[in-house]
Structure 1
Amino acid sequence: MTRNYELFPDDDNGDVLWQMHEDGDDLTELHDIEYSIAFSSQEQAERCALYLLHEEQKITLFADEEVEPAEWIVTIFVNMEPEYADVVDLEEWFTKIAEKFGGEYDGWGCMTYVYDVEDEEDD
């Protein structure tokens, strides 16, 4: 299949969405997409988390101690159809929020669910 650059522009977001599509993921279905913001301090992360809760966002907050120095990560869970324009809009919004609270927007991802229907073979 030839890539439609209107649906899947030639950038990181378009590449990820195109790969999901190529892997058989149905992008017209709702997905739980995770957007992440990283902070160097717990206080900054907690202030951002509280702000996002007031914005009615579903979030988690945890300390990533596997990196030095430890980072605090706020993950925002958005149930949505992964359309390019919506992903970009949310990235821009979360980038502004990250900057407002002294953090850094750290990208998005989601689990893909691809189900293969195998033909039953007669024994």
Structure 2
Amino acid sequence: MSLHTASDNWDFYSCSIEEKPHSTMVNLSLHDLAPIRGLDWFHCLEVLLKSPNPQNGMTTSDEFEPLSEIEDFIARNESESLRYVARQTGDGRRKFYFYATPDFKFSDIVDEINQAFPTYEKSTFNFEDAEWETYFGNLYPNAMAMNEIANRSVFLLLEEHGDNLEVLREIDHNFIFKNREHAEQLTKTLEEKGFKVSTSTRGLFKKSYDLLAQRVDAPRQLDPITFELKQLADELGGEYDGWGCSVQSDSE
């Protein structure tokens, strides 16, 4: 996919909409820029998939090329008056989402796509959304989705080094606390959950309490685990500072 600028940061997460699996790809970089004044109208272009996966309604390899071409066309037509912000796939459909100026003729973009890809059935809708509530409330990842995104970056790094994410091994989880009592509370909770916990301190006057919690798990199963650990740390005013592990291949 062609990006609007080199600094844009696109990533995806899974979600359920009306009890059906969906995947959302969104430009995370816009979070600190939005709402972009002048781009007050939200537009959606919905494309009906021709050969969705019958099990989950998602895309298949058969449609990778034409859908990529549609998205490349969309990206090439971005301007100061039209910003492509996200796409969502599921239930046999792919939806492309935009923000545009009130006078932007979105129908012209749709007409060009219809001419270039006439075999796809399409529909559109739009509404005023000057505060970008749809981007923040429906498209930008929530805490659980951000956890999935963060874990995926570690998964990819492990796989680049030949790791089998299904193999059990000791996982290191790191926490940072400013309050000793809160650190001790979390230590007790973690030990009840089967973690081995060690604590170290930093600083002379304003001490920081660093917790290392270790337990045997498979990296592939970490999404719900790390989400819970982050919640536990947040509730006690601490910070979950990520996880790490050794590389394990099939041969080990």
Same fold judged by TM-score > 0.5? yes
Pick from 78, 82, 98 the counterpart of residue 215 of structure 2: 78
TM-score, normalised with respect to structure 2: 0.37
Instruction: Provide TM-score, normalisation by structure 1.
Output: 0.70
TM superposition shift of 1:40: 0.5
Aligned counterparts of 1:25 and 1:75: Cα–Cα separation in 2: 23
**What's the CA shift for 1:82?**
0.9
Deviation for aligned residue 1:13: 1.5
Higher relative contact order (CA 8 A, sep 6+): 1
Q: Which runs of 5+ in 1 are unaligned?
A: 117-123
- 1:107 corresponds, among 235, 239, 242, to 242
Q: Once the two structures are aligned, what percentage of the paired residues are identical?
A: 24
CA offset digits 1:62-94 (Å, max 9, x no partner) = 1134xx9431112221211110xx222111111
**SS of the residue 1:73 aligns to:** strand
Post-superposition CA distance 1:18-73 (Å, at most 9, x none): 121121122232121111121002222112112222333221121134xx943111
Larger radius of gyration: 2
Query: In the superposition, relative to structure 1, how do residues 15 and 98 fare at CA in structure 2: closer, same or farther (>3 Å)?
Result: same
Aligned equivalent of 1:61: 199
The runs of at least 4 aligned residues of structure 1 exceeding 6 Å deviation read: none
Residue 24 of structure 1 aligns to a residue in which SS? coil
Amino acid across the alignment from 2:153 = D
SS state of the match for residue 35, structure 1? strand
Task: In structure 2, give the amino acid aligned to 1:64.
Answer: R
- Mapped pair 1:41 → 2:197: no
Deviates more, 1:90-99 or 1:55-64: 55-64
* SS of equivalent residue, structure 1 residue 47: helix
**Are residue 17 (structure 1) and residue 151 (structure 2) matched?**
no
Q: Is the 8 A contact 2:169 2:216 kept in 1?
A: yes
Q: Report if aligned partners of 2:166, 2:219 keep a CA contact under 8 Å in 1.
A: yes
Size of the aligned set, in residue pairs, is 106
CA positional deviation for 1:109: 0.9
CA distance in 2, matches of 1:113, 1:52: 25
Q: Counting strand residues as a fraction of each chain, which structure ranks higher?
A: 2
**Separation of aligned partners in 2, 1:80 and 1:56:** 11
Counterpart for residue 231 of structure 2: 96
In the alignment, residue 79 of structure 1 is paired with which amino acid?
Answer: V
